[in-house]
Amino acid sequence: MDKQAAKKISEKLRKEIEQHNWRYHVLDSPLISDAEFDTLLLQLQQIEKEYPDLVTADSPTQRVGGQPAAGFAAVTHRVPMLSLDNAFSVDDLGDFVRRARNIEPDAEMEFVVELKVDGLAVSLQYEEGVFVRGATRGDGESGEDISHNLRTVRSIPLRLHKPLTLEVRGEVYMPRASFIKLNEERQEADLPLFANPRNAAAGSLRQLDPKVAASRNLDMFVYGLGFSPHFNPPTHYEALRSLRSLGLRVNPDIVILSDLEEVVSYCERWRRERYSLPYDIDGLVVKINDLALQQLLGTTAKSPRWAIAYKFPAEQKVTRVEAITVQVGRIGTLTPLAELTPVELAGTVVKRASLHNEDILREKDVRIGDYVIIQKAGDIIPEVVEVVKNKRTGEEVPFVMPASCPACGSEVSRLPGEVALRCFNPACPAQILERITHFAARGAMDIEGLGPAAAAQLLEAGLIEDAADIYTLKDKKEDMLTLERKADKSVDNLLASIERSKNQPLWRLLYGLGIRFVGTRTAKLLAENFGSLDEIISATQEQLEAVPEVGPKIAESVRSFFSLESSGRFVDKLRRGGVALSQGRHVAGSKPLHGKTFVLTGTLPSYSREEAAKLIEEAGGSVAGSVSKSTDYVVAGEKAGSKLDKARKLDVAIMDENGLKQLLGI
């Protein structure tokens, strides 16, 4: 492809990708599949690889591929980033409303009430519509330049819908589900866990290497303006509306209310319903709508007088530790658990809380019989905050971690540098059970009806010894029917679900194997790069490390997993059971040229017109006879005639055979 064509195509692709990105991440209404999106991105990446000087700052490829920052440069906020005063009660809210009313007693006062999303305040600067810089709040006067990480947040547009120069502010956060998944993966990798989604978001933005933030699924809501002298909406609500129409993501649950009673009842509603949101909020923010009035009210050194945060009380409960048990994980990790007198907390009944490991257990000094304060980390995972020491009677019993595995009796020990005690017996029944349920879990092979209870039943009855044996169950239906609570229908459903799992994508199988450090993300990368399990099994350390994001630790873990004799036997069983162990590349299922119209003209160097058309059609595109406005690409060969002229006139992207080959990935 010549440079002129590359430029035109890359511009077109950039626009198209950002449009789809906005539809997906801001509007929540995608038009194309993820695979189709990936293909567009891949096409752009290929062109930019060939012509690196065509890469623009707002290119969607820059979201992920950025270089690590050398450090965090200081950014001075042209308008200080203040924080908010807190109201902890309805009375406090009433005081705020009255104070505001006193300034302009005759004015019709409107309040905008917004959710107070629990994340990190950031400022985004746009110059002529292009994202140029993003910073943390810091001390309010100046923060740190974290542009490289903010670029990875898909809901932050790299280009606004209009070429405006302005600064906006908002909250970057991590959705609760992503936080849970991240911590699960970290637990598996023996990395320290994040206490809540806010810390996880903050930790992700504080990285020098943007790849970390890119893998963390951060999101953002914009809630106001910063320094923006050329943009003067009359009200805050109007400002938010404009920001939304510029392509920025504004929270949908924002209302205008005009009296205290309404404000209080809206706050109460969200206090009750906060757990129905996919992210954490720690209260609501009440702001005066009229921007002129805001000016009049002004600010104190720390916070504006025109806004207040109504904070929810943190939900904590006191309950009693009835026992401390030890759970054995899939790779033999011993986790102490506090078995609690059940209490309702933040929307669910809590019966147990993880004490994480021996060090934390000791540090918190939790004893059997203690009363403890519990809360949910990030409002989800119950944790013991502290022991209520003044409730101690002296009868409480300190807990000592066992020297042998509670499930199989093998000796347990800590690997150097690790915090957890481990049982190293691969035949440990607790580990086997965990491995089976992991294999069948929704995020892995997704086998419905094969939860812990069913797996334990099958193991106990001797019908299976490991997860691969489930593929022999179809010949053991009679035996299965003798198991307790196994009716004909549920056995049939389970067998059907097992059958279906045989064709799950390779990454699901790979993740399901439970290789240490191989979470879903790594599994996808490995599957994509090697295409089959056998290729992965025979890959060398270097070949594994050549996969993006796979370092020596992961590569070593993969190699040592497949060097085990037991793993070899397991894979053989899968093969005999008819499980698909290979498949094309990750995006193979999608058609890279889906929906694209081509016109061919002139003689191509190596393909006949028919051959080229066939290739395009096989890749999902269509070939038309004449050039029109709806033509996406014209492929021109030697002696191209009027079609080429028309393409130029209509500003349609033109490419040669090489350009076509690139689009086709051949």
Name the amino acid, one letter, at 621.
Answer: G
Q: How far is the CB of 43 from ligand IVH (least distance, A)?
A: 38
Q: Is the dihedral of CA 220, 226, 232, 234 positive or negative?
A: positive
Beta bridge partners of 623: 598
> Which of 82, 202, 343, 537 lies at the binding interface for ligand IVH (CB under 6 A)?
82
Does residue 593 sit in helix, strand or coil? coil
Distance CA 383, CA 530 (A): 40
287 is catalytic: no
Query: Considering only residues 217-246, where is the footprint of ligand IVH by CB under 6 A?
Result: 223-224
- 79-87, 153-161, 232-240, 551-559 -> range binding ligand IVH (CB under 6 A): 79-87
Residue 156 touches ligand IVH, criterion: CB under 6 A: no
Query: Considering only residues 521-580, where is the footprint of ligand IVH by CB under 6 A?
Result: none
Distance CA 614, CA 309 (A): 62
Does residue 646 sit in helix, strand or coil? helix
Residue 486 touches ligand IVH, criterion: CB under 6 A: no
Residue 267 touches ligand IVH, criterion: CB under 6 A: no
Q: Which is nearer to ligand IVH, 137 or 159 (CB)?
A: 137
Q: How far is the CB of 66 from ligand IVH (least distance, A)?
A: 25
Residue 116 touches ligand IVH, criterion: CB under 6 A: yes
Residue 83 touches ligand IVH, criterion: CB under 6 A: yes
Residue 461 touches ligand IVH, criterion: CB under 6 A: no
Residue 100 touches ligand IVH, criterion: CB under 6 A: no
Q: Please check whether residue 455 is in contact with residue 436, taking contact to mean a CB–CB distance below 8 angstroms.
A: yes
What is the helix (H) or strand (E) element at residue 607, kind and residue range? none
Residue 172 touches ligand IVH, criterion: CB under 6 A: no
Residue 171 touches ligand IVH, criterion: CB under 6 A: yes
Q: Is the dihedral of CA 89, 90, 95, 99 positive or negative?
A: positive
Distance CA 248, CA 241 (A): 10
- 82-90, 199-207, 430-438, 633-641 -> range binding ligand IVH (CB under 6 A): 82-90
> Which of 175, 304, 531, 620 lies at the binding interface for ligand IVH (CB under 6 A)?
304
Q: How far is the CB of 282 from ligand IVH (least distance, A)?
A: 8
Q: Which is nearer to ligand IVH, 196 or 333 (CB)?
A: 196
Beta bridge partners of 624: 599
- 78-86, 87-95, 157-165, 377-385 -> range binding ligand IVH (CB under 6 A): 78-86
Distance CA 441, CA 421 (A): 25
* Sequence-ordered alpha helix ranges (H) in 298-428: 358-364
Distance CA 75, CA 138 (A): 9
Other C-beta atoms closer than 10 Å to the C-beta of 263 total 22
Distance CA 82, CA 567 (A): 57
Q: How far is the CB of 178 from ligand IVH (least distance, A)?
A: 18
Active-site annotation holder among 8, 116, 524, 596: 116
Residue sitting closest to ligand IVH (CB): 121
Strands annotated E in 493-624: 597-601, 622-624
Task: Find tokens 């303006």 and name the residue.
Answer: 225
Site mask for ligand IVH (CB under 6 A), range 174-213, x = bound = ----------------------------------------
Residue 117 touches ligand IVH, criterion: CB under 6 A: yes
Q: Which is nearer to ligand IVH, 37 or 223 (CB)?
A: 223
Residue 587 touches ligand IVH, criterion: CB under 6 A: no
Q: Please check whether residue 654 is in contact with residue 644, taking contact to mean a CB–CB distance below 8 angstroms.
A: yes
- 301-309, 434-442, 518-526, 652-660 -> range binding ligand IVH (CB under 6 A): 301-309
DSSP string for residues in 6-65: HHHHHHHHHHHHHHHHHHHHTSS--SS-HHHHHHHHHHHHHHHHH-GGG--TT-TTHHHH
Q: Is the dihedral of CA 293, 295, 301, 307 positive or negative?
A: positive
Q: How far is the CB of 158 from ligand IVH (least distance, A)?
A: 22
Angstrom distances, CA of residue 338 to CA of 137, 349, 353, 374, 573: 38, 14, 5, 11, 38
Q: Give the residue numbers annotated as catalytic, written as ranges.
A: 116
Residues that bind ligand IVH (CB under 6 A): 82-84, 114, 116-117, 121, 137, 171, 223-224, 285, 304, 307, 309
